[in-house]
Amino acid sequence: MGPQVRKQGPDHRVAVRCGDVEIGENSFTVIAGPCAIENLDQALLAAKLVEEAGAKVFRASLFKPRTSPYSFQGIGAEGVPILQAIKAETSLLVETEVLSLAHLELLHDHVDMLRVGARGMRNYELLKEVGKTQKPVILKRGMSATLEDFLFAAEYVLVNGNRNVVMCERGIRTFETYTRNTLDILAVPALKEMTHLPVIVDPSHSAGRSSLVGPASKAALAVGADGILIEVHPDPAAALSDGDQSLDPPAFLSLMGELRRLAVVMGKEV
């Protein structure tokens, strides 16, 4: 079997459909929510805020891979009823990160979209199992992965039967310390040359600072990305994880307006 992820021609592109949301083509899809679900009140408030601002998909992580074992790891399985409440009380689609096969089995029927994080990009056994589902999946680039490495990770999902893959550039590790990671903005057009799959950007993990998230988001749209995966928290100062890079509601609302205006120039719709 030959490569599945490479483009078949200069204009060959696909969109990934998740419910009534299409990622790719002429849309710029905004996936927004907190770094992690903390409790029911925080999750519902965040979901309603991002829905009102115009986001289509809610970021809803229950399990968090953290460098330090003492950092907040997420609320885990007890958050499943919260995912159900979000779907019942909003029109948002829900996506979440899976770190293992056990997480995939637990969460598969409760979310619309899966996410394999930067650390999970090289978990090839997990990628194979995600490939056996037909659930749309966001695949994030590993912090030290070349674009070729990234494409091979996507290949694991595709060759196992799941064609619904969205590539996500989230910044790579360089010598720079002012930002959390270095946003490889040219990865977006480069991946568009290399693959037919949609490409989105995570400006929050790239920047690590809320003040830089807006510029990174607009850069992603300007360079041709199909959407962003962005962290928004009702009260970033009180967030249990990644508060420094999370937008508060007014900042997110303002950014959505800027993205809509820029999208007109780029021939896309937010």
List the one residue out of 96, 104, 85 whose CA is nearest residue 40: 85
Query: Whole domain around residue 111: which residue ranges?
Result: 19-260
The identity of residue 51, as a single letter, is E
Asked if 188 and 220 touch (Cβ cutoff 8 Å), the reply is: yes
Q: Quote the CA–CA distance of 240 and 242 in Å, as a whole number.
A: 7
Residue 1, domain member (yes or no): no
What is the per-residue pLDDT for 66?
Answer: 75
For tokens 């928004």, the residue is: 232
Residue 4 domain flag? no
Q: What is the pLDDT of residue 10?
A: 55
Residue 2 lies in a domain: no
Distance CA 54, CA 117 (A): 24
Domain-located, residue 8: no
The predicted model scores a pTM of 0.94
> Is 243 in contact with 237 (CB distance < 8 Å)?
yes
**Exposure letters 180-213 (e unless 16+ CB within 10 A, then b):** bbbbbbebbeebbebbbbbbbbbbbbbbbebebb
CA–CA separation, 117 vs 162, rounded Å?
Answer: 17
Angle, helices 147-159 vs 124-131, to 10°: value is 40
* Domain CATH for 236: 3.20.20.70
Q: Record the tokens describing residue 176, joined without a space.
A: 């720079």
Tokens of 85: 């409440």
In angstroms, the CA 155 to CA 106 distance is 24
Of 125, 128, 81, 73, the closest CA to residue 97 belongs to 73
Give the C-alpha separation, 118 to 145, whole Å: 9
Residue 14 lies in a domain: no
Give the pLDDT confidence score for residue 69 in this predicted structure. Answer: 84
Q: Is residue 251 part of a domain?
A: yes
Pair 77, 107: CB distance under 8 Å: no
| pLDDT for 27 | 94
Output the pLDDT for position 2: 55
Structure tokens at 78: 């007890």
Distance linking the first and last C-alpha atoms of the chain:
37
- Answer yes or no: is 56 within a domain: yes
DSSP class of 55: -
Residue 119 to residue 167: CA distance in whole angstroms: 14
Query: Which mean pLDDT values do the consecutive 10-residue runs of the chain (270 residues) have?
Result: 61 85 94 95 96 96 84 87 96 96 94 96 97 96 96 96 97 95 97 96 96 98 97 94 93 97 94
Number of domains in the chain: 1
